[in-house]
Structure 1
Amino acid sequence: MRIGIFVVAGLFPGQESGKVLANALEWIVAAEEAGFDDAWIAEHHFMPYGVCPSPITLAGVAIGRTTRIGLGTAVSVLSTQHPVALAEQAAMLHHLSGGRFTLGVGRGGPWVDLEVFGTGLERYERGFGESLDLLVAALSDGSVAADGEFFRFREVPMVPAARLRPVVACTSEATVAMAAERGLPMLLGLHIGDEEKAAVVGRYREHGGPVTGHVAAGVAYVADSTAAAVRELKKAMPAWLGPGLAGYVPVDGRPRARLDVGAYVDLLTRIHPVGSAEHCAETLRRTAEETGIEHFVLLVEGLGEHRRTLENIRRFGAEVLPLLRRGEHRRGEHRRSEHRRGER
């Protein structure tokens, strides 16, 4: 099992965005020290839900401040940038990090970002497949060319070149099919539980995708008791999520469904590792068993205070990660014992 942190860099009331970004860098350093495997960084624009507009930039800074932990984007939005330019940046980070960087990409949404960056609603609605193919080509071959609806240019060499396999955020059946058909692993979001995750993985396999490599995002908070952990997150998170999620502004004025923030926080605390150390470990084990997913990136900043986020990271590393790794060791010993008996 691989466990990382998921950095949204959410802006809670009374905070300043520049300070939140500086804090986020400290969370990544603390996660490395606590034994987490990686840190994946979200991209958002013009909204308090997340104040990092360039996860690839923050990942680059974090690479310089760390030595072991993996860095990833969750995700870089393909609908608002050129896939070849993104591939160049990913290749740079791959080489400069010694292979520690993973590029996660997604379609994004029909938000005002499309207007501001000039890519338009059409790139979001029709252009994701073309953008993804161009990105994959740029990260697979030594050169790249395009002759499509949205991109047309002569063949050019990729300098620097790197062979990377992007991870694709999948929130729709069409995107699941695209990822599977290209053999790219999925990133699944915070909002779905084990049953739905398992169903998405099943549909991915039906489309011919490989069995392993998927990543699931979650929320994590460890406390002395599960009741205390749930109570504290339910108190803290709505102050961020209410105004934060309201920041999604459609580019074309389409209506948005209203989210019951209280119900959403209740869902997050029920389906993710929020509780005592034992409860957190058991929740992750159960999700892995029911879905086949063994790579998790966990949002640890839900309390909205820098000091308490650092405490959460350190406590999760000290109390939960050893339980998970001890369980993996026992399962490994059991498999080896079964193998030896079979040989006899």
Structure 2
Amino acid sequence: MRTGLFCTYENPQRDYRSAYAEQTKLVQLIEALGFDEAWVAEHHFNPDASSPSCLAILAHLAARTTRIRLGSAAVLLPFRNPIHVAEDVATLDILSDGRFDFGIGKGGPFPIQNKHFGVSKDNSRAKTLEALSLIERLLTEDGVTFEGEFFKAEDVSLTPKPLQTPIPTFIATSTADAVKAAAEHSYGVMGAPPFPLESVRGALSLYREIAPQGDPKLILIRFYHLAPTHTQAVDEAAIFLRPFLERMQATTAFMQPDWTPWFKLDRMIEDSLIGTPAEVRDKVLRIEAELRPRSLVLKPLSPSVAKRRADLEAFGETILALLGLPPEAGLVPARCS
């Protein structure tokens, strides 16, 4: 099982320059600690998750790292021109020397995104899958002609082409239609932090039912927070999670009502990596045994950079070794320039 960091570019001080610099240093830290990958979210119109241009951010990280893989989590395809996305993906794959993983999604339950980009929530999933189909062809073929419900292309040859063929591709989803598409095309699946582990298990079961010989290549992203005692860890995590849960309950009630029951504090804490180092270690081992993810990706909860750094260092020291990856594995000098 690989390990990684989920980057949403928190900005509690409302200083975007500092937020970007601090997150870059955390990515360099996890590379030095022996983690395997960093994933950057795409969020729009949210000062507390200030990463609207995730592919541009990943190009910057490609120049600041040497070993870890870099992934989008996820490019929101309904809001983008697929030809532009394909060009950016190919360029980024070259700039990262073939270290790019392409995660895509339809966008979370945030009405403001659909409003400002002029995309109906009713067709965003169909638009996502159609865009991905065109992008995949553009990355691997020349003279692509395509006519779908939402997008068209006529004799398009992408310049440049990516280094990797195919580009590793993952769909952020737990819905049946998207899981079915992932299984049929050998894409991986991505379970975001709010998705219950129960829904992730269901997605994996459906994937394997559709493609018995396939590999869902699960990217499992979980909230992460350590403290000396279980009570302290839960109490601190609750402070960070409550505003998120309130926001998600309000937006899912309109955009994705079947998700609303997911956003309960006790359930969220139970499905996250929250507790003492020993408790988190044991939960990681259970997740590895039960779900067999390709990657376990951490989303530190604290807005404090010092606390996030300390928790990531503790994971490297106490848990990577348990997984058979000593903290010095893959150790490279952090490039802080």
Residue 235 (structure 2) pairs with residue 236 (structure 1): no
Match of 1:147 in 2: 147
**Alignment-derived partner of residue 213 in structure 1:** 217
Percent identity over the alignment is 25
- Calculate the TM-score normalised by the size of structure 2: 0.85
Q: Which ranges in structure 1 are unaligned for 5 or more consecutive residues? A: 328-344
User: Relative to structure 1, is the Cα distance of residues 170 and 260 closer, same or farther in structure 2, using a 3 angstrom cutoff?
Assistant: closer
**What are the within-5 Å matches in structure 2 for residues 136-285 of structure 1?**
136-162=136-162, 163=165, 164-208=167-211, 210-239=214-243, 241=244, 245=248, 264-285=264-285
- How has the CA–CA distance of structure 1 residues 260 and 123 changed in structure 2, closer, same or farther, with 3 Å as cutoff? closer
C-alpha separation in 1, matches of 2:73 and 2:86: 15
Distance of 2:230 and 2:279 partners within structure 1: 7
In the alignment, what sits opposite 1:330?
none
Q: Deviations over 1:9-37 (max 9, x none)?
A: 2344x543443233222221111122211
The DSSP-based 3-state class of the residue aligned with 1:159 is coil
Cα distance change, pair 131–146 in 1 and its aligned pair in 2 (3 A): same
Give the Å deviation of 1:186.
0.5
What secondary structure, in the 3-state scheme, does the structure 2 residue paired with 1:104 have? strand
Shift of 1:296: 1.1
SS at match of 1:30: helix
- Please show how residues 97-116 of structure 1 align to structure 2 within 5 Å: 97-109=96-108, 111-116=111-116
Letter paired with 1:274: I
- Provide Cα deviations, 1:137-188, integer angstroms capped at 9, x if missing partner: 1223244221112112211111111221311111311111111111111001
Q: Deviations over 1:231-281 (max 9, x none)?
A: 221233334x2676489599xx769689699x6343232222222222222
Cα distance, 1:200 vs. partner?
1.4
The answer to whether the Cα contact below 8 Å between 1:80 and 1:117 also exists between their aligned partners in 2 is: yes
Are the equivalent residues in 2 in contact too, given 1:48–1:243 (CA < 8 A)? no
Q: 1:75: how far off?
A: 0.4
- Say which one has the larger Rg: 1
Corresponding residue for residue 299 of structure 1: 299
| Other-structure match for 1:128 | 128
User: Cα–Cα, structure 1 residues 77 and 326, in superposed 2: closer, same or farther, change >3 Å?
Assistant: closer
Q: Distance in 2 between matches of 1:18 and 1:117?
A: 26
Shift of 1:283: 0.9
Question: How many Å apart are 1:106 and its aligned residue?
Answer: 0.6
Structure 1 segment 32-51 matched on structure 2, within 5 A? 32-51=31-50
CA contact (8 A) 1:234 1:266 kept: no
| Secondary structure of 2:86 counterpart | helix
- Measured on the aligned residues, the alpha-carbon RMSD in Å equals 2.8
Q: In the aligned structure 2, how far is the partner of 1:147 from the partner of 1:258? A: 33
Q: Give the aligned residue type for 1:324.
A: L
Q: Which residue is equivalent to 2:286?
A: 286
Q: Distance in 2 between matches of 1:17 and 1:129?
A: 33
**Matching residue's letter, 1:124:** S
Give the match's secondary structure for 1:87.
helix
Give the Cα–Cα distance (whole angstroms) in 2 for the partners of residues 61 and 234 of structure 1.
33
User: Residue 104 of structure 1 contacts residue 166 of structure 1 at CA under 8 Å; is this kept in 2?
Assistant: yes
Say if 2:14 and 2:47, in contact at 8 Å, map to a contact too: no
| Structure 2 unmatched runs, 5+ | 327-337
Contact in 1 for aligned 2:138/2:157 (Cα 8 Å): no
TM-score by length of 1: 0.83
Structure 1 partner of 2:63: 64
Relative to 1, partners in 2 of residues 1:271 and 1:247: Cα closer, same or farther, differing over 3 Å? closer
How many residues align? The count is 321
- Deviation sequence 1:54-87 (CA, Å, 0-9, x none): 1111111111111111110110101100122112
**Cα distance in structure 1, aligned partners of 2:43 and 2:8:** 8
Q: Which moved more, 1:45-54 or 1:90-99?
A: 45-54
The aligned residue for residue 336 of structure 1 is none
**Deviation of 1:193 (Å):** 4.0
Structure 1 residues 40-60: Cα deviation after superposition (integer angstroms, max 9, x where no partner): 011111124521101111111
Rounded Cα–Cα distance in structure 2 between residues aligned with 1:17 and 1:149: 38
In 1: Cα distance, 2:256 partner to 2:129 partner: 25
* Aligned 8 A contact 1:50 1:244 in 2: no
- Write out per-residue CA displacement over residues 275-314 of structure 1, whole angstroms, 9 at most, x where no aligned residue: 22222222112112112323111101x1111221122222
Distance 1:247 1:103 in 2: 30
Tell me: CA distance 1:135–1:230, structure 2 relative to 1, closer, same or farther (3 Å): same
In the TM superposition, residue 38 of structure 1 has moved relative to its aligned partner by: 0.6
The SS at the match of 1:112 is: helix
